[in-house]
Structure 1
Amino acid sequence: MIPVWAQLLYLFGAICFILALKGLSGPKTARSGNLIGAFAAVLACTIPFFYADLDHIPLILGAIAIGSIGGFYGARVVQMTQMPQMVALFNGVGGGAAALVALVELHEIVDFGADVQKFILVATAFTVLVGSVSFAGSVVTFAKLQDLITSRPVVFPGLPVLFGGGFVAAIVLSGVLVSEPVMWAGILIGLLGLLIGLLLVLPVGGADVPIVISLLNAFTGLTVAAGGYVLSNTLLLVAGTLVGAAGTFLTLLMAGAMGRSVANILFGALKGGSTLGAGEASDRPVRSAGPEDVAILLGYADRVIVVPGYGLAVAQAQHTLRELVDVLAERGTKVDYAIHPVAGRMPGHMNVLMAEAQVPYEQLIEMDEINGEFKHTDVVLVVGANDVVNPAARTTPSAPIYGMPILNADDAKQVVFLKRSMRPGFAGIENELLFEPTTTLMFGDAKDTLGKLLTAVKAL
């Protein structure tokens, strides 16, 4: 039985998690929100040492030390561009931990023959199944984003049957577990959850993987909440519910930004409708120019909008881009950054990548706010982006990105693309904007190209 003082501290920690989530909703309060959340997590891990009759304390402390060192090291060395896959990995660990805790609780129920409520057994089965799905799925999303496996959809004959059969078998075994608590049923449910998680994510294309990360994050939150019910822990219940709700909302937000349903994102590849990953380079003629010609376009423009993409961050060119924008602003040019919700790997990712280069937050304008400005813009500079300005989203029903809201760069008087090559983006389709007479391309590494462009603008 948890003493009253511990329950009150757990309640205080739960309130801290709510405040942390609120703080993370804005750039000015994000840092304090993160610290509040970290404090609540430390509090939650510390409380049991003062009231619970714990066994194997050296092993527990050793595990905490290993996790703390790993987390600190990861936070220090992982690049901001790799943050989504780090989130995926941490999320998977959370789901896997929840599943293991539920199995430990099931083992105690079986060993002691405890008479438990049926709903607790339902929550236990749910935690084992969904936690295992989240763990396996998150590992696959990490591997796809880290290029350890192909980012293209992986499908094979019989996949839907295997997936559906595994899901039905897991439900049947959950029924067995609820009617008669047995350890073998819990273990089989966990193994089936691993299979389901694997089959759920393999058919998802590269550009859709971040959305699946968010969905699996919601799954992990729900398993933690269910685990909190099993353990009678208010803090876990509240924290898991927050994560589950936030992850669900974020998933729907990202799917809306892609103009797709969650079902299409998960299962579209089975009928050829998923985002398929990088395709072949085009051999169609385009208009290209050197840094001096593009510098003239930018130097004499009154209004410029920059569209940054993930390729900009991969090239670590955001600092040079910010310097170029500063030079243009000193010349009297009005410059803003147009941010598409999925310009990075997930919502807010591109904002953070630009903030890393000390770009003023007020210059980062969201898509809905800036789309009406493109028709009054002299030059749009697209750096490392492709699909988020592809008119096929409006004009080509067969395109995998059809229906996705895009930045209206094609409304501007001139468009300049900085691209490494003519290879398409994640969607694997050509961008017709590249072939318009108002579009100019500069080929090369973004950091090198922007450096030359900056030098040319300064020389005007």
Structure 2
Amino acid sequence: MDNLSTASIASLIIDVSFFSAAFLFIYGLKRMSSPVTAASGIRVAGLGMLVAVVASFLYVFSVSDAALPYRTTNVILAAVALIIGLGWAWTSGKKVEMTAMPQMVALYNGMGGGAAAAIGAIELFRTSGQHTLIPLVVTVVGSLIGAISLSGSLIAWAKLDGRINGVWRVKGLQLINGTFFFATLALGLYIAFVEHGHAPVWMTAAFFILALIFGVLMTMPIGGADMPVVISLYNAFTGLAVGFEGFVLQNPALMIAGMVVGSAGTLLTLLMAKAMNRSVANVIFSNFGAAGDEEQGEMAGSMKPVDAGDAGINMRYASKVIIAPGYGLAVAQAQHKLFEFVKLLQDAGVDVKFAIHPVAGRMPGHMNVLLAEAGVPYDIIMDMEDINGEFKEADVAIVIGANDTVNPAARTNKSSPIYGMPILNVDMAKQVYVVKRGQGKGYSGVENELFFKDNTNMVYGDAQKVMVQMIQAVKSLDGGH
């Protein structure tokens, strides 16, 4: 078989593989939309990525003999990079705790954006002039978005991991950020329109450095309570960057995967911002959350502690109990003990449901994944809009590790920085128990009015230890069974 036929067959296999990978990406994402099929959806999308990666190595058979030295070197480098990446992802993925999953997602978002920026850098540093104006502009835009996603995601990771605490705000910061952004964009467009891709190395390097700095400046002022929205936004950025660079490389798998991730991330970002009753611009450019110095006025009432066993017994004799989980549940890794307690209540005839706030935890779907890991049935896990009307019928609402998402100040206190954010209506239950390690404020730095209400009692302690005490108390009523 001659070289021409070999190259033709390789090109055909590549095209078919990329089409198959694109289908698997889309089908996998569709299955991820339901908790019941999410796990298989991830496997399907992963298979699509495997097909795309393997097909990429067939490019060695679709280029001319003149490029042989370069393709041999590239295959070796690609294989080494693949081995390093797989090894790191496998070991880190195996070891990561559920509480650190948001950090891992932020880190992977950044890596995707960095990969897209790296592709753009290779194209922009070339001086062959092989790209026309439109591909050059797309390369610049994709590189800009990818670099911002890389540095911004790394800052988000550092905030979530506790390596950077609080926020960084200075007077005129929005003007500084705007100046950085438009200067970076103008430099990139100058490279495309004026230099036509033949810009000096220092100019292209300056473009990427400015883009990386802007990503840091953009993320540093954002409060910790907004991190779920920020992670979703950078996920969308990464998808857009990959899609743009796929257009430049004429790679359909990258184009489709990028568009799917970008559109899904954008929709999720908009839905999460809506769930907080705020715009995405308000999340990025406002001074919400984590400052901890807002004036809220004096809190009426006092925090009233109660023994965990007494709270458990009270729930055992309730007719309806609604559980509002939060990040503290993940920190304590108490989801398995919580479900054990839930099964005891159900055996006693108690109607038990879970109420999930859209931004509970540190990333979208964090609580759903946590509960699914413990085996909690999907039919008792309810979204906020579906469960909020039932709190007034509940005998007991128990809050485990949640804070800002159950703060009544969002409904009633116009001076509160979270005013207007939809919350779970746990305060409307007849009795509220709050499982909490101490009397600290929430992730946004806002005092929680729920803790001071007459119908609220505080159950202090690590969530897992508290659940063990509740289980023991309930079992003692039933003769230890």
| Matches of 1:41 and 1:224, distance apart in 2 | 14
Deviation at 1:59, TM superposition (A): 2.0
Residue 209 (structure 2) pairs with residue 191 (structure 1): yes
| Matches of 2:213 and 2:312, distance apart in 1 | 54
Partner of 1:298: 315
Residue 234 (structure 2) pairs with residue 216 (structure 1): yes
Please give the root-mean-square deviation of Cα atoms over the aligned residues, in Å. 1.9
Residue 334 (structure 2) pairs with residue 326 (structure 1): no
| Matches of 1:129 and 1:296, distance apart in 2 | 57
Deviation at 1:238, TM superposition (A): 0.5
Once structures 1 and 2 are overlaid, which stretch shifts more, 194-203 or 177-186? 177-186
| Matches of 1:283 and 1:148, distance apart in 2 | 35
Deviation at 1:459, TM superposition (A): 1.6
TM-score (norm 1): 0.94
Partner of 1:340: 357
| Matches of 1:97 and 1:310, distance apart in 2 | 31
Deviation at 1:379, TM superposition (A): 0.7
Unaligned runs of 5+ in 2: 1-6, 64-70
Partner of 1:238: 256
| Matches of 1:5 and 1:394, distance apart in 2 | 58
Partner of 2:54: 46
Q: How does 1:196-211 map to 2 (within 5 A)?
A: 196-211=214-229
| Matches of 2:359 and 2:204, distance apart in 1 | 38
Partner of 1:105: 123
Cα distance, 1:448–1:392 mapped onto 2, change above 3 Å? same
Deviation at 1:261, TM superposition (A): 1.3
Partner of 1:76: 94
Residue 472 (structure 2) pairs with residue 449 (structure 1): no
Render the CA deviation track for 1:199-246: whole Å, top value 9, x for unaligned. 000000111012111111111111101101110111111100001101
Residue 282 (structure 2) pairs with residue 268 (structure 1): no
| Matches of 1:427 and 1:340, distance apart in 2 | 15
| Matches of 1:228 and 1:441, distance apart in 2 | 54
Cα distance, 1:50–1:295 mapped onto 2, change above 3 Å? closer
Cα pair 1:282 1:423 within 8 Å, conserved: no
| Matches of 2:179 and 2:356, distance apart in 1 | 42
Partner of 2:67: none
| Matches of 1:132 and 1:61, distance apart in 2 | 24
Partner of 2:83: 65
Residue 252 (structure 2) pairs with residue 252 (structure 1): no
Partner of 1:177: 191
Match among 387, 390, 394 for residue 377 of structure 1: 394
Letter paired with 2:416: A
| Matches of 1:140 and 1:33, distance apart in 2 | 29
Letter paired with 2:273: A
Render the CA deviation track for 1:133-176: whole Å, top value 9, x for unaligned. 010000000000000111x2211234333312211211221221
| Matches of 2:368 and 2:240, distance apart in 1 | 28
Letter paired with 1:29: T
SS of the aligned residue for 1:89 comes to: helix
Partner of 2:21: 13
| Matches of 2:252 and 2:26, distance apart in 1 | 13
Letter paired with 1:21: L
Partner of 2:33: 25
SS of the aligned residue for 1:3 comes to: helix
| Matches of 1:48 and 1:90, distance apart in 2 | 21
Cα pair 1:205 1:276 within 8 Å, conserved: yes
| Matches of 1:366 and 1:49, distance apart in 2 | 44
Identity of aligned residues (%): 46
| Matches of 1:58 and 1:6, distance apart in 2 | 19
Residue 175 (structure 2) pairs with residue 161 (structure 1): yes
Q: How does 1:403-414 map to 2 (within 5 A)?
A: 403-414=420-431
Deviation at 1:278, TM superposition (A): 6.1
Partner of 1:146: 161
SS of the aligned residue for 1:47 comes to: helix
Cα pair 1:282 1:422 within 8 Å, conserved: no
Cα distance, 1:405–1:158 mapped onto 2, change above 3 Å? closer
Tell me the matched-pair count.
Answer: 452
Deviation at 1:279, TM superposition (A): 7.4
Unaligned runs of 5+ in 1: none
Letter paired with 1:84: P
SS of the aligned residue for 1:459 comes to: helix
Letter paired with 2:431: Q
Cα pair 2:174 2:285 within 8 Å, conserved: no
Deviation at 1:28, TM superposition (A): 2.3
Deviation at 1:277, TM superposition (A): 5.7
TM-score (norm 2): 0.90
Partner of 1:134: 149
Cα distance, 1:38–1:296 mapped onto 2, change above 3 Å? closer
| Matches of 2:309 and 2:187, distance apart in 1 | 68
Deviation at 1:283, TM superposition (A): 11
| Matches of 1:350 and 1:277, distance apart in 2 | 25
